[in-house]
Amino acid sequence: MRRHLGAVRCTQVLAIHAQDDEVASPRNLQLLAQGLPASCSLQAQTVHNSYHMISIDNDRQEVVRRVQGFVQSCSTTHHGVGDMKYPAVALSRNGHKASTASDP
C-alpha cells in the first residue's frame, strides 16, 4: 500500500489510529504523511482509550464525532458533494489505509 499512496487523488484525508493499537503501529500515521501527495491535506489523529478496532471499541463515539466533523467540514469547504474532491477517511488497520475514496 505504501507505494500507492502517491496516487491518492483526495484533497483531504482523515486518518484515525489508536495510540495503544496492539496490531498496527501508530507510526502508520507518519507513513501516510510521508506518502500522500502534497495536494492532500492529512488530518492525522489518535484515540487513547481503544485498541485495534477503534470503530467498535471504547472510543467508538469519539471516532463517529470526528468522522462526522470531518465530512461536515469537507462539505462546508466545498459547498456540496457535487463540488467535493472526494475526501478520504482512513482508519488504520493492519498497517494499511483501510478506506480511500475514489472517483465514482
The secondary structure of residue 51, as a DSSP letter, is -
Instruction: Give a yes or no: residue 103 inside a domain.
Output: no
Decide if 14 is inside a domain: yes
The total number of structural domains that make up the chain:
1
Domain contains 51: yes
pLDDT band at residue 97 under the 50/70/90 scheme: very low
CA angle 17, 23, 28 (to 5 degrees): 45
**CA 24 – CA 13 distance, rounded (Å):** 19
Strand partners, 89: 14
89 falls within a domain = yes
Model confidence at 74, pLDDT cuts 50, 70, 90, reads: confident
Q: What is the pLDDT of residues 7-46, one digit of tens each?
A: 988 899 999 999 999 999 999 999 999 999 999 999 999 9
Domain span at 36:
2-97
Is residue 82 a part of any domain in this protein? Answer: yes
In a domain, 104, yes or no: no
Residue 31 is assigned to a structural domain of this protein:
yes
Q: Looking at the domain assignment, is residue 102 inside a domain? A: no
Cα 43 → chain centroid: 7
